Structure 1
């Protein structure tokens, strides 16, 4: 495993880290604390030293599992996200009072005295135009409740706007089906010494190359109910790519890249970009994170392979995905 510096945090974190949305469960299934603990342990044994969680994941159980592991392994760094618990989830509710309450809740959940990195969890766009939100984060940083803060975004424009504040990192969707951040944002983040965490790196599994038109997802799995954005931004599900179109694009990538491990190559592709600090695929079982971590050791892409990805994106994905996010 190789390590890169996460922006202003100074943390040296593993190129392949761990996202914990589905930690200890598949999407929509009950949380299994044993599976969660075993998955975190397998990640650590594979050289992973960075976990990304959120207060809303499994209603706080993900934070509890990550916090317990970190107390036993203080060399591990983490981020947690806040804001998606708000009802309604509107900009006006990103108040100083609510932000402080969320941080206090995460501290209690994780059993820690300070949080390494707190990210606003895909807030409404107008939040990025409200300096009082970031002033509240600055105050908590000065008080030592948080060490760093940043944002998890839906759109490139939101990430760019956030750079005017003292953020340390941006979490953004970037994968073979979502290339716009590389063209529009990465250089700006590097110039500002802001780390990038690449989320949804496998486009909700489409880039595993294992799905078919007959694949069925659980009733409570967002890949069943959120394809058109019924519950949250549709860009979170399959990166906003039409499922059937995504199957065709994934099949062509697999064929033209001549690989039986499209998932591994999809992760390795993201690491071709120096601006990316880490890719954070999720895992619900130990064997998944072990396979993901191995992607960091795959050979670098050739110029020809990089062009194949761009060509497939241009042919199948760019219109309309590129213009929406």
Structure 2
């Protein structure tokens, strides 16, 4: 495994992390504790130390599977979670960024994660009006002072949201999470230059484009109604999958796994600290970790 410094946080994170939205039950299946234990246990064996989750991945469900899985080696993990949404049922949430409620969300996350602190607490895909609340950031920074949060971050909803990115340092945030992959390079235009200017850590989410860049899906693929991908426009999905086929023919070297190539592609950008792909099972953890073999040294954030 390779490691990088997450901006100015002082946190050393594996360049490949574990995204855990799937644990919340919106990716076509549910999980038992033993399955989460196996996934995170194998990740640790492979040198992965970064976990990203959220309050609304099944009303703290994802967090409640992570907590027992890492309870005995909590200090070895960099644990990132988020705030801002109340989960009601699959694919249904309401936004809640009221400072007092955010503190309640934090306490529920800490309880589910069976820990007394989170390493990175992220504003989760919220509107600019909620982001611009001084009271919210004052409250969050008090939680940092209390030791319940080590560092603050922003998970921007639109990967072109320069408004929130440019104000990160001013509100006390030290990391940006953003959608970035070979099919969606929008952050390169404004978001990444701002991150580099501010020395912000960057977590690239959806680095495999919801699995499309694994190369295993073809145009015409249909997903079950319990899979978030079923909510995509069919014509747009087919366009993306045709683009993936072209990338496979023209950019991925012969004999190289496309998913590993796609993760390494993200990690080449000087602004990107780590990728946080989801993984449905141990085999996918292993496949994601294998991308490290394609990652060159000499990155500005190398630890």
Which protein has the bigger strand share?
2
**Matched residues in 2 for 1:108 and 1:120: separation?**
19
Residue 138 of structure 1, CA deviation: 0.8
Match of 2:218 in 1: 212
Match of 1:151 in 2: 154
Check the 8 A contact 2:40/2:69 in 1, yes or no.
Answer: yes
Equivalent residue of 2:13, what SS?
Answer: strand
Check the 8 A contact 1:173/1:201 in 2, yes or no.
Answer: yes
**Matched residues in 1 for 2:225 and 2:190: separation?**
36
Check the 8 A contact 1:195/1:275 in 2, yes or no.
Answer: yes
Match of 1:261 in 2: 257
Match of 2:83 in 1: 82
1:273 aligns with 2:269: yes
Residues 19-58 of structure 1: matches in 2 within 5 Å? 19-23=19-23, 27-58=27-58
User: For structure 1, which runs of at least 5 residues remain unmatched after alignment?
Assistant: 229-237, 302-325
Check the 8 A contact 2:13/2:78 in 1, yes or no.
Answer: yes
Match of 2:200 in 1: 194
1:140 to 131, 140, 143: 143
Match of 1:128 in 2: 131
List per-residue Cα deviations over 1:84-122 (Å, max 9, x = no partner). Answer: 2178734xx411111110011111111111111111111
Residues 1-325 of structure 1: matches in 2 within 5 Å? 1-23=1-23, 27-73=27-73, 74-85=75-86, 89-90=94-95, 93-155=96-158, 156=160, 157=162, 158-225=164-231, 227-228=232-233, 242-257=236-251, 258-259=253-254, 261-298=257-294, 300=296
List per-residue Cα deviations over 1:188-245 (Å, max 9, x = no partner). Answer: 21222210000010111111111113422111111112x15xxxxxxxxx9xx92111
Check the 8 A contact 1:23/1:39 in 2, yes or no.
Answer: no
Equivalent residue of 2:135, what SS?
Answer: helix
**Matched residues in 2 for 1:249 and 1:163: separation?**
37
Which protein has the bigger helix share?
1
Check the 8 A contact 2:43/2:285 in 1, yes or no.
Answer: yes
Equivalent residue of 1:147, what SS?
Answer: strand
Match of 1:307 in 2: none
Structural RMSD (CA): 2.2
Residue 184 of structure 1, CA deviation: 1.3
How many residue pairs get aligned? The number is 287
